[in-house]
Each structure stands twice: as structure tokens, then as C-alpha cells.
């Protein structure tokens, strides 16, 4: 299906590149479909209260179907409405999303929440923590997409922990560029497992 001419390409609000073949932004609208089509996406990760279905958003659902894009829904509360840890998502949701992001078979990926702000920023901040970014650098990136960082946001990212399963055959090249296996396995907060080595 033709979703528009090149001159009508409009990216979603707060669109940006996270890493090679990983993009972020706000909830896609129909005007954004030509732009998203140009990215040749394989996966859209929706950090939203409701999944994208024919009933909730028939146009985005059909666009994804027409372009063979896998829709992944990770349930989150609306920004500011979360009960756990004072943020709209939990560590299980973050770990689930990261599993898609760090493996090449799902790329290119577009990650979005409702407005491209707090929820997406929390996920990206946790990804940066996995990449050994410093807290200062993580939160400098964070404030580019949100009006402010709450104490709860900082605490959520600072305390992010869990188990990450990495399939070496599909790991994205940018994840730990130039780092030795010893450094990666010694991550201060996250337990890194390599598939086939357990």
C-alpha cells in the first residue's frame, strides 16, 4: 500500500536514533507512516496501556501488517500514573524490551510510548546502563526528551537490575563495542548470561 510521497515524509514527534537500527519517538500517527516505511522496520515495540489491534488502532495495525512489521506490546501505565516504584513500568517490562533491542533478528526497531517522553526514556536509560554509560551521560540524554527527571525516575534507573540473556549469534555489534568479556560479565548491577554457556 502507498502511504505517501517522499515530500510528505514526517517523523513521529520526538523521533531520534538510539543506536544503529534502533529508533525512538512518540505514538505513530498516519502522517508518520511514510517515514516509518522508509526505515524498513521489522519490529515496533509499544510501551502503552493498550496493545495495537484492529479495534484500538486499525490504521497502525494495518500499516504494520502491510509492511511485515511485528507488533510487540509491553504494557505500561500512562506517564505519572504508575504505582510500582513511582514510575509507569517495571524491570520485567524493561528486560523484555531490551531482549528484543539487543538482538539483530528484530532490527530495525521503533520504540514508542504515548508521547515519546518519560516511558521511552526510562527504557533507553536502562539500555544505556547495560552499555556501561555513566549516570551523568544517561540523564543528560534523558532530559532531551522529557521536561524533567523525577526522583523516582533516577531511582528506577540507578537501581535497575536483572538477568540479561544474550545470544552471541544475534547480538547487535554496538552493545559493548570494544569491551572484553570479563568487563561485560562483571557488570555491577546486571547478570549477563551468554546463550549456550549455561
Q: Which residues are catalytic?
A: 113
83: phi > 0 → left, psi -120 to 50 → alpha, else beta; which?
A: alpha
Query: Could you write out the DSSP letters of every residue in 7-30?
Result: GG--PPTT-EEEETTEEEES---G
What 3-state class would DSSP assign to 112? strand
Which pairing describes strands 43-46 and 70-73: parallel, antiparallel, or unpaired?
parallel
Contact assessment for residue 51 and residue 29, using Cβ atoms and an 8 Å cutoff:
no
Distance (Å, rounded) from C-alpha 31 to C-alpha 139?
31
| Burial 175-193, CB ≥16 within 10 A → b, else e | bbeeeeeeebeebeebeee
DSSP structure class, residue 103: B
Contact assessment for residue 100 and residue 43, using Cβ atoms and an 8 Å cutoff:
yes
- Residue 35 CA: distances (Å) to CA of 96, 118, 189: 26, 23, 37
Amino acid at each position: 500500500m502507498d502511504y505517501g510521497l517522499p515530500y510528505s515524509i514526517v517523523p513521529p514527534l520526538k523521533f531520534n536514533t538510539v543506536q544503529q537500527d534502533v529508533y525512538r519517538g512518540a505514538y505513530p500517527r498516519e502522517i508518520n507512516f511514510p517515514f516509518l516505511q522508509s526505515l524498513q522496520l521489522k519490529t515496533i515495540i509499544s510501551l502503552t496501556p493498550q496493545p495495537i489491534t484492529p479495534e484500538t488502532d486499525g490504521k497502525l495495525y494495518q500499516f504494520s501488517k502491510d509492511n511485515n512489521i511485528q507488533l510487540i506490546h509491553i504494557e505500561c501505565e500512562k506517564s505519572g500514573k504508575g504505582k510500582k516504584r513511582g514510575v509507569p513500568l517495571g524491570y520485567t517490562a524493561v528486560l523484555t524490551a531490551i531482549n528484543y533491542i539487543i538482538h539483530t533478528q528484530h532490527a530495525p526497531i521503533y520504540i514508542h510510548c504515548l508521547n515519546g517522553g518519560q516511558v521511552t526514556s526510562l527504557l533507553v536509560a536502562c539500555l544505556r546502563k547495560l552499555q556501561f554509560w555513566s549516570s551523568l551521560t544517561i540523564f543528560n540524554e534523558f532530559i532531551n526528551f522529557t521536561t524533567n527527571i523525577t526522583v523516582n525516575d533516577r531511582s528506577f534507573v540507578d537501581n535497575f537490575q536483572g538477568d540479561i540473556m544474550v545470544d552471541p549469534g544475534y547480538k547487535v555489534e554496538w552493545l559493548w563495542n570494544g569491551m572484553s568479556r570479563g568487563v561485560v560479565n562483571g557488570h555491577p548491577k546486571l547478570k549477563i548470561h551468554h546463550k549456550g554457556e549455561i
